[in-house]
Amino acid sequence: MDRLAGQVAVVTGASGGIGRAIALALARAGADVVVHYASSRADAEAVTGAITGLGRRAVTARADVSRAADVAALLEQARGAFGRVDAWINNAGADILTGEAASWSEEAKWDRVMAVDLKGTWLCSRAIAAAMAPQPGGGVIVNLSWDHVGQGLGNPTAAIYAAAKGGVAAMSRCLAREFAPRVRVNVVAPGWIQTKWLAGADLRTHETVIAATPLGRWGTPEDVAAAVAFLVSPAAAFVTGETLLVGGGAVMG
């Protein structure tokens, strides 16, 4: 069923993982999609190709969401391609767990996560809300947080993510009030999801997470995407300022 037929969505950080799953889920629901990336152009173009293969329109767009000028250019590219934006998904996040960034100093990790995950969400939300408010039907913003911000997790990296993602959750509630009634703002907070980090996790970590999760498995990017697609859809038309945990019950709100 094309719940989002005729709508246009921007998904930041859509070149892989959760962002890719969100972009594809929205396309399957009928939306045309702007596939944003920061550095993985080939991966983003592959997602764009998959979306066009579903019969939807899609464009690939690069931006550093921590820079206001880049965010403005991303918005203009989206509007230039499709005329409007109905849904904006702030999924882009800094990876400090894998690759070169894993060896950065704690301060460098903090600065990057705050710039992308928190400031980037703020910049994008304010820019798109101003564009959505005057258009027929307004629009919807979905921000990505983390289910453990309300419970905590005892390691240095978790403290960085909790500070940023907790900020996203708190800020989103403020934005939901500020942007109402023209723009709805909600949050999806994933838990333990099968992303690139999981590939490097040891067997003990896998088993520990499953044991701590009432539903008895790791989540998938598609689990998160389904929650986002619901919040974007008309089925959630009277929902704003809410946080939907997608973690199999490991953390309960």
Could you give the residue numbers annotated as active site? 161
Residue (of 146, 39, 141) closest to 90 by Cα position = 141
Give the torsion through C-alpha atoms of 243, 221, 119, 239, to 10 deg: -30
Angstrom distances, CA of residue 50 to CA of 6, 55, 79, 176: 18, 9, 21, 32
Read off the tokens for 197: 């980090």
